[in-house]
Amino acid sequence: MVMLAGWRAATNGRGIAEESMRMATGLKGGSPASPAKRTSTKPPSADAPPHQMVFWKGTLLLLLAFCLTGIIPMAILAYAAGPLDLTPSSFAALFPQPTPPTPTSVPDLALPRDAWVTQSVNVLPDPAKGTPLATLAPAFPVRLLEHKRVGNTVWSRVEWSGPVTGTGGQGWVPDGLLISYGATGAILGDLGALAPSLRQAVAPAGKQFAAMVYIPSQNRLYTQGAPNGFFALGTGLRPMLLSALYSGAEAQNKAVNLTDALSLSHGDATVTPRIYQQLGGAAGLSLYLNSKSVQGIQTAPTWMACHATPRAMLDFYTQLAGDLLQTKDRSAVYSVLALADAPTTSNLVAPWARAAGNLLVVGVAPTDATFTVSMAGVLNPAKGPQVIVMAVATAQPSTDAALQAMKAFYMPLTTLFGS
């Protein structure tokens, strides 16, 4: 059957070839030329010997056969060499497959480049080992510097900047927790993300310490410990009482009695309870704070028994630094509180933080046989952005021990922002 198909293809090819020859010589197939044309027109091959004509016709037919079908060559090959036995092994020998590529560690030529963290990650001093230097929250922006493989994990060395010179850091994180695209938003991390030295400074206090540092102009928030854990405010409630007092006076277009303001700023044992009740007690103060969208302060029948969360304190001082009060009244609150607490705070911070325009308030609360001390306020460094800050040390054996925990945090913090 294969040979018969080849013979038919050859016959058809011969017919096509003859038709092509007629067209080339100007003759029409099936209609002989006139006698005059036959005598005047002579094909170029008319004088060729018969054996040459046979050779050229045969060559043309073979070319046509190869072009029209592959059956004839296969038939000739099969007739000459016998049946083809194409097993998988022989087919592979005829058509070898390419060797799969071997994975290699190719240098990342796009370094350094920007990247973003996909989930909360601890930054280590070395790939896969060491005590964490910082914790970066999801979407934290970093600069990717280099890669290193440890076992089956690729680690990336990253660096990041902070709000002022001397802040930020660098270290190693798993490469799988980084992406090459992100969006500008809030920058969140722990104190190590602000500066690894700060995380190390407060480490001895352990879980009894919490702190929050907020940079409003840069939308940065650094947190250590439990931001939503309640602690005893004690004398730390004085700024809320002063704010409510001045706010009420503003609403009635009246002036605040300066003697009352000074006594309240010191937490006077007689004046402070009186003003607390004058403001409506627990219900009145709660109503005021809620109207200012400050959530997380638990009022009590007596002013020294109130509690708050670090986040609530940060919210309050952020608003106090803003438009919670008129400018003149805000300045008055800053002045009387800074004056009252200066003997305590002056030894806990860098010199610039003691200047006018800065406010740090210390709250002391005896709790059973231990003490809770908080310190919060607003800092305005000369060469840096405004800082809203709060810190608290709970379950301390004495107020001195608690104040040492405050100093371990505030001294390096104010040094960083004052440089």
pLDDT at position 327 is 96
DSSP 301: S
The pTM score is 0.75
Question: At residue 371, what are phi and psi to the nearest 5 degrees?
Answer: -130, 145
Domain covering 113-185 in this structure, CATH number = 2.30.30
Residue type, 185: G
Q: Which residues pair with 171 in a beta bridge?
A: 158
pLDDT at position 45 is 45
Question: C-alpha 348: how far from its chain's center?
Answer: 35
- Alpha-carbon distance of 357 to 295, in angstroms, equals 26
Is there a common fold for 113-185 and 210-418? no
pLDDT at position 27 is 40
> Which stretches of the chain drop beneath a pLDDT of 70?
1-109
Q: Which residues pair with 153 in a beta bridge?
A: 150
- Alpha helix stretches (DSSP H) within 41-195: 50-68, 71-81, 88-94, 191-194
pLDDT at position 109 is 56
DSSP 3-state of 11: helix
| Residue 318: both structure tokens together | 């952020």
Q: Where are the domains of the chain?
A: 1-30+49-81, 113-185, 210-418
Residue type, 182: G
pLDDT at position 183 is 73
- Alpha-carbon distance of 207 to 200, in angstroms, equals 14
pLDDT at position 61 is 66
What CATH number does domain 210-418 carry, 3.90.1150.10, 3.40.50.720, 3.40.710.10, 3.40.50.10860? 3.40.710.10
List C-alpha distances in Å: 292 to 68, 97, 306, 316: 90, 74, 18, 9
- Alpha-carbon distance of 401 to 339, in angstroms, equals 23
pLDDT at position 57 is 67
Residue type, 308: A
Q: 238-251 and 271-278 are packed helices; what angle lies between their axes, rounded to 10 degrees?
A: 50
List % helix, strand, coil for the chain (3-state, nearest 5).
Answer: 45, 20, 30
pLDDT at position 367 is 84
| Residue 142: both structure tokens together | 């970093």
